[in-house]
Structure 1
Amino acid sequence: MTRLLASRLAQIAVTLAILSFCAFALIALMPGDPIEVAIAGDPRLTGEDAQRMRALHGLDRPFHERYLAWAGGLIRGEFGYSRLFAQPVASLLGPALLSTLALAGTALLIALALGVALGALAASRPRAAPAVDGIAVMGQAMPTFWLGILLIILFAVTLGWLPAGGAADAGTGLAYLVLPVATLAIAHLAAYARHSAASLEATLTEPWIRTARARGASERVVLLRHAFPNAALPVLQIAALDAGALAGGALVTETVFARPGMGKLLYDAVMGNDTNLALVALLLVALVTMLATLGADLAQRLLDPRLREK
């Protein structure tokens, strides 16, 4: 386990270094730069002003020098300044990441719990399988923006039980989380229900399951103690990928419910040519994605002793 952890952490560091270089190069290839945007917004700036600003921000230096200077500052914890929001990048990323984690993390846990429960129901009771499959199909077929608008119309406009959108106390208000969390959870539980049902159905036909039943174990014990730990392995990988994807911000859901999060922040940074903010936000999302995958791998080894030897 220790060897795996050390190896994966080294891989994460190398991947982040390669990703930072590629992202920096791609953004450098984009037409225009922040100075040109500033000149377009203020006609009083002259060509001499533009040259001084480029020299001040190091934009007149070769590409490799600019990258090394930026990467060195990043290693030292200097994330730079956001030109678009006129704030330090670190002060923007913290609230956005917390808001997204509160939304996406809660939705992921609810979707995982409900999806696995529905999958177990379908696998253990074949008569319930068509109903579970119908729920999964409906969850996958409904676009998140359409589902979110329906929930707003029903619970915010018609019934007036919940706020239609926004955030309170930096995104910690529970009432503001209910509708967006429900939207994301319904959209993601279908995959967990289907994969857990298929995995449990395959596991329940294994010889050791028949042996456990022959020894007199109840169906509940067979399902929870013997079948579920083995069937949970592929579901954990899907959850890890979803966690990484949602860490980047559920842009559509955040837009529908007017929640400030990583998705909206990344979109604004890229469209506004805010290099520092876009690069650091992208690396942060990649780091969360890889850490979620690492957590899933460690959980798999805890559930399956055979994997601990690898």
Structure 2
Amino acid sequence: MAGYLTRRLGQIVFTILAMSVVIFGITQVLPGNVAYVIAGQFATPDQIAAIETRLGLNDPMWQQFLRWAGAALQGDLGTSMVMSRPVGPLVAEALGRSAQLAGVSFLLVALIGVVVGVVSGVRAGGWFDRVALVVTWLSVAMPQFFIAIVLVLLFSGHLGWLPATGYTPISGGVLNWLSHLILPVATLVVGLFAHVASLQRASMIETLGASYVRAARAKGLSERKVITRHALRNALIPTVTVLTLDLGILMGGIVVVETVFSYPGLGRLMITAVEQKDLPVLQASVLTVTVIYAFANLIADLCYLALDPRLRTGHAGVR
């Protein structure tokens, strides 16, 4: 296990280093010039040139990358070119707010998706299964921005029950905090739980037809014990995979949701950084998402080992 963790951590480090090069290269070719954003539309060419020199934008790209990467390794993510604030605390604040949104959404996606998938798989062909299939089809068919707009029009515009935009910290009151999370969380959950439910249903049906499940039934075990002790554990393994993938989709969905609901999280910060070509903020934000996704894959692999002890010897099938 120690050797496996060492190899996986080495892969994560390599992935982050490779992605840092890609991220830096992509941000350098974005159209526009941050100097014009800082100086304003009426700035003279001399003023633009002075700002570019001060920010080091005229240096060769490799020098800019080494300067940025060296500082990042020391924990210094730079200073926002537009807001003149340290990037580290700026990204940390936005990440904290996004973590609340993503954490609640991910837990609900996992819980609802697994429960619906298990019940549908156990009672395949029943009324619950048919209703669940229709709901999951509709969920997959509707884009997240459409779900968000419908929820805002219904629960904020028509009924007036929930705020349409903004964010309130939990220190401002739990109910107020929850009221600002409900619509963004609902948008993410509706758009993602169908992936988990569909795979869990298919995996459950396949597992219930396996020989070891039939043997457990032949021994006289109750259906409840057959499902909970023998079928569910193995049926969850593919679901762990799709949950990891959904975490990546969730991070992408947050960008859309935070924009629609004016939620001041990491997604909205990245959109603002792109619009203003604030390279340090954009680079740090995307790198943060990369790190989160890399460690999410590691957690998924560890879950594989916990769910299927056979993988602990040779790690067969583990990425």
Per the normalisation by structure 1, the TM-score is 0.92
Task: Tell me the C-alpha RMSD between the 2 structures.
Answer: 2.0
Structure 1 unaligned spans of 5+ = none
Range that drifts further, 157-166 or 229-238: 157-166
Cα deviation, residue 261, structure 1: 1.5
Q: Which amino acid aligns with 2:145?
A: F
Q: Structure 2 vs 1, CA of residues 229 and 59 (structure 1 numbering), >3 Å: closer, same or farther?
A: same
Is the 1:84–1:274 contact (alpha carbons within 8 Å) kept by the matching residues of 2?
yes
Structure 1 residue 248, shift from structure 2 partner? 4.7
In 2: Cα distance, 1:101 partner to 1:130 partner: 34
- Identify the residue that residue 202 of structure 1 maps to in structure 2: 206
Kept in 1: contact 2:108–2:189 (CA 8 A): yes
Show the counterpart of 1:82. Answer: 80
Name the residue aligned to 2:152.
152
* Alignment map for 1:222-301 (pairs within 5 Å): 222-248=226-252, 250-301=254-305
Q: For 1:214-229, list aligned pairs within 5 A.
A: 214-229=218-233
Q: What is aligned with 1:21?
A: 21
Q: How many aligned positions are there?
A: 308
Percent identical among aligned pairs is 36
State yes or no: 1:6 paired with 2:10.
Answer: no
1:156 Cα offset (Å): 2.4
Offset of 1:36 from its aligned partner?
4.5
Shift of 1:42: 4.6
What is the rounded CA distance, in whole Å, between the counterparts of 2:168 and 2:291 in structure 1? 27
- Separation in 2 of the partners of 1:66 and 1:149? 41
Which residue of structure 2 aligns with residue 93 of structure 1? Answer: 91
Partner Cα distance (2:202, 2:59) in 1? 57
Greater mean alpha carbon deviation, residues 231-240 or residues 169-178: 169-178
Structure 2: which amino acid aligns with 1:11? Q
Q: Return 125-134 or 23-32, whichever deviates more.
A: 23-32
TM-score (norm 2): 0.90
Structure 1 142/201 Cα, relative in aligned 2: closer, same or farther at 3 Å? same
Give the superposition deviation at 1:25: 2.0
| Whole-angstrom distance in 2 between the partners of 1:140 and 1:32 | 36
Corresponding position: 1:134 with 2:138:
no
Q: Distance in 2 between matches of 1:5 and 1:60?
A: 42
C-alpha distance in 2 between matches for 1:232 and 1:112: 11
Change (3 A) 1:210 1:243: same
The question of whether the paired residues in 2 share the 8 Å contact of 1:144 and 1:187 is answered with yes
